[in-house]
Structure 1
Amino acid sequence: MKKWVKMSFSLLLISVLMISLAACNSDSQTKTKKLEKVRIAEVTRSIFYAPQYVALAKGFFKDEGLDVTLTTTPGGDKTMTTLISGGADIALVGSETSIYVYAQGSNDPVINFAQLTQTDGTFLVARNKIDNFSWDLLKGKTFLGQRKGGMPQMVGEFVLKKHGIDPHKDLTLIQNVDYANIANAFASGTGEFVQLFEPTASIFEKQGKGYIVASFGKESGHVPYTTFMAKQSYIKENSDTVEKFTRAIYKAQQWVQTHSSEEVAKAVMTYFPDTDIDIMTTVVDRYKSQGSFATDPILDEEEWNNLQNIMKEAGELPKEVDYKTLVNTKMAQDVMKK
């Protein structure tokens, strides 16, 4: 009798465990099925976008039920084309591109919903070491700038004019080199000064190919330099998804803000397999110290107006666009409240 009771109890226990395991497996499958795919097209691969890589590496997107894939589409024009044609759901690119699309009369405008960086991310690199740099040293020299019409180029010209330099008269300005080839062109001997993103600028410095002498980010002030944006129709049809996405970005922004530069570098190192961890730490520290990483996803009106002033100064503003027309901060505000 006792043996039968023990056997019955054992069978009951096994049944309970099997049911529990089946339930856990079912829950796991349900969670996997619930992951919603979101495709991001980023304008370039740069440590400048560290919070985005932190959100991916730390699983913040998955915590929100999102399966995010990331593709690099070099250049603002290519990134925006990818978004508009349906090749991506969300783009990480300069806010000026949304103005260009709107000015062309789009029926489905591209809306900025979460800001990632709030300063320019480029640095002025000189071919030769300069102990006492001043902007006047660029006069009469050849400056290898960024693509015409893009934020780096416009900020570059804005800063030059701020220091009394006419970029089209006081120096030789090269703007016809494709974005992806600018660093190689400088390394090959083109120009005495170049405007570069990180980590390329620091890598060049370590290799003796150039020397960082100034920061365009420090000189230009706060602008919505790179933001996450999507077509108005996508946001309307997928508002919950966009809110979850924004919440993950906000978590990452806070994580970057509260962790050391070395911790941030280690967290995102898989996205920069060919970059030395010491250089990455230096780059993150440089961006953190000048306040390049936005600490929250809110794109405010003052930044939007500063952007348009820079575009106007560069002669690249097709038309002034009201802040509320192309900026939607509802999701950002909601996730910050919660």
Structure 2
Amino acid sequence: MRSIARIPAVVVAGALALTTLTACGGGASASGKDDGKVKIMVGGLDKVIYMPAMLTQRLGYFKAEGLDVTLLTEPAGVQATTSLVSGDVQGVVGFYDHTLDLQTKGKQIESVVQLAQAPGEVEVVSNDAAGDIASAKDFKGKKLGVTGLGSSTDFLTKYLAVNNGLKTSDFTPVAVGAGQTFISALKQGAIHGGMTTDPTVAQIIDKGIGKVLYDMRTPEGSKAALGGLYPSSSLYLNTDWVNGHKETVQKLANAFVKTLKWMSTHSPQEIAAKMPADYAQGGADLYAQSIKSTLPMFTTDGVMPADGPQTVLNVLKAFNPNLQHATVDLNKTYTTEFVKKAS
């Protein structure tokens, strides 16, 4: 560790309404001191893999730390990252793997709270295509759904194909988002399968329109599909911003670690009850089940798994030409400085 955009219209409107509360650059007042105001873009607020973001707010932990946090949502993690790089937000709750990809492009981003040790992703196939797709070896010629091109679902789908003897050009990735847009694409045959998360997975199985091909919601599933623990959901920020706003970053880490510990001691039903009611589109019971299926992916302390960064690098190098010929300093892609103080 170190020593030292397409935003939905409703979110844009909300962000504009909060302009007076969240000055450009955020986290610092005119006097240069931290003011505790932070905008965080989440790669899909209603996705269970990013549940700690909204849950932290609902539990009141941001407020308890003296923070004024605005949560925004963007269904594709790659677009959330774009918002960070452009300076529209100060932080992102998204996949850690983007920090490696961005380092090769001259951007220094780091995970300060590692929320998850497994991807939480599931590769599903439609019932119509299930007879033709028994493993990633059968992806050739198929249309596979991802949240967005260049997203972590895109990365992982490419890895599964390459790791099973195919080229990334052997299949067609299709950006279909998540939730109802993903389900609709699967039902209508616009895709043969795809990578998504809960609660979308739970709804697909419940509706009987698809089957699970690869399940990476647990550490065991991650190791089987990817060769090791794959740190995924995280709070990441620009390193320069972290170094300039350590007080605010520590408070963010404190809040998120409290949430992770709370999650580890409460039932899926209790967790579901704290979340917005409209997140349970398939019903309360199905939503609680989707949380139960995904809970094993989360850390309890926000600390990066020791071998996780190397697994992520191995996965990305398998198909990403930018990383294949680049030297990545993994120590600069995350820090445990703040979560260890929080613990």
Contact 1:118 1:292 in 2 (8 A): yes
* Residue 263 (structure 1) aligned with residue 261 (structure 2): no
Contact 1:269 1:277 in 2 (8 A): no
1: CA distance between counterparts of 2:85 and 2:137?
Answer: 42
- 1:302-322 alpha-carbon deviations (Å, 9 max, x no partner): 111110100001225432321
Structure 1 residues 52 and 76: alpha-carbon distance in aligned structure 2, compared to 1, 3 A threshold = closer
- 1:308 corresponds to which letter in structure 2? L
Contact 1:308 1:320 in 2 (8 A): no
Secondary structure, in 3 states, of the residue corresponding to 1:68? strand
Query: Which has the larger displacement, 256-265 or 133-142?
Result: 133-142
- 1:179 corresponds to which letter in structure 2? G
Contact 1:41 1:88 in 2 (8 A): yes
Contact 2:38 2:68 in 1 (8 A): yes
- 1:9-39 alpha-carbon deviations (Å, 9 max, x no partner): xxxxxxxxxxxxxxxxxxxxxxxxx983221
- 1:292 corresponds to which letter in structure 2? M
Q: What do you get for the CA RMSD once the two structures are aligned? A: 2.7
- 1:306 corresponds to which letter in structure 2? T
1: CA distance between counterparts of 2:192 and 2:168?
Answer: 16
Secondary structure, in 3 states, of the residue corresponding to 1:118? coil
- Deviation at residue 148 of structure 1 after TM alignment: 4.4
Structure 1 residues 39 and 140: alpha-carbon distance in aligned structure 2, compared to 1, 3 A threshold = closer
Structure 2's unaligned 5+ residue stretches are 1-33
Residue of structure 2 equivalent to 1:306: 311
Contact 2:52 2:259 in 1 (8 A): yes
1:39-50 map, 5 Å? 39-45=39-45, 46-50=47-51
* Residue 295 (structure 1) aligned with residue 296 (structure 2): no
Residue of structure 1 equivalent to 2:195: 195
Structure 1 residues 140 and 307: alpha-carbon distance in aligned structure 2, compared to 1, 3 A threshold = closer
2: CA distance between counterparts of 1:195 and 1:135?
Answer: 13
Structure 1 residues 84 and 185: alpha-carbon distance in aligned structure 2, compared to 1, 3 A threshold = same
- 1:60-88 alpha-carbon deviations (Å, 9 max, x no partner): 11111112111012323321221122211
- Deviation at residue 59 of structure 1 after TM alignment: 0.7
Residue of structure 2 equivalent to 1:72: 73
Contact 2:174 2:191 in 1 (8 A): no
- Deviation at residue 175 of structure 1 after TM alignment: 1.1
- 2:207 corresponds to which letter in structure 1? Q
- Deviation at residue 137 of structure 1 after TM alignment: 8.0
Contact 1:299 1:329 in 2 (8 A): yes
Residue of structure 1 equivalent to 2:8: none
- Deviation at residue 271 of structure 1 after TM alignment: 6.0
Secondary structure, in 3 states, of the residue corresponding to 1:179? coil
Structure 1 residues 333 and 214: alpha-carbon distance in aligned structure 2, compared to 1, 3 A threshold = same
- 1:220-254 alpha-carbon deviations (Å, 9 max, x no partner): 33122121111122212210111111111111101
- 2:235 corresponds to which letter in structure 1? F
Contact 2:162 2:319 in 1 (8 A): no
- 1:200 corresponds to which letter in structure 2? T
Return the index of the structure with the highest Cα Rg: 1
Contact 2:77 2:152 in 1 (8 A): no
Q: TM-score, normalised by structure 2?
A: 0.77
Structure 1 residues 303 and 136: alpha-carbon distance in aligned structure 2, compared to 1, 3 A threshold = closer
- Tell me the matched-pair count: 295
Contact 1:156 1:216 in 2 (8 A): no
Query: Which has the larger displacement, 262-271 or 109-118?
Result: 262-271
Q: Whose helix fraction is larger, Structure 1's or Structure 2's?
A: 1
* Residue 278 (structure 1) aligned with residue 276 (structure 2): no
2: CA distance between counterparts of 1:157 and 1:81?
Answer: 21
Report % sequence identity: 21
Residue of structure 1 equivalent to 2:239: 232
Q: TM-score, normalised by structure 1?
A: 0.78
Contact 2:135 2:213 in 1 (8 A): no
2: CA distance between counterparts of 1:149 and 1:231?
Answer: 19
- 1:82-125 alpha-carbon deviations (Å, 9 max, x no partner): 1122211111122222223322224xx22211111221122122
Secondary structure, in 3 states, of the residue corresponding to 1:38? strand
1: CA distance between counterparts of 2:260 and 2:322?
Answer: 30
- 2:260 corresponds to which letter in structure 1? Q
- 1:267-308 alpha-carbon deviations (Å, 9 max, x no partner): 2244615341111111111112xx211222112441111101
Residue of structure 1 equivalent to 2:114: 115
- Deviation at residue 168 of structure 1 after TM alignment: 4.5
- 1:136-179 alpha-carbon deviations (Å, 9 max, x no partner): 783666241424443222223333455x452548xx62214353
- Deviation at residue 330 of structure 1 after TM alignment: 0.5
* Residue 126 (structure 1) aligned with residue 125 (structure 2): yes
Secondary structure, in 3 states, of the residue corresponding to 1:256? helix
Structure 1 residues 271 and 65: alpha-carbon distance in aligned structure 2, compared to 1, 3 A threshold = farther
2: CA distance between counterparts of 1:167 and 1:123?
Answer: 21
1: CA distance between counterparts of 2:104 and 2:139?
Answer: 35
2: CA distance between counterparts of 1:249 and 1:316?
Answer: 34
Structure 1 residues 124 and 204: alpha-carbon distance in aligned structure 2, compared to 1, 3 A threshold = same
1: CA distance between counterparts of 2:44 and 2:327?
Answer: 27
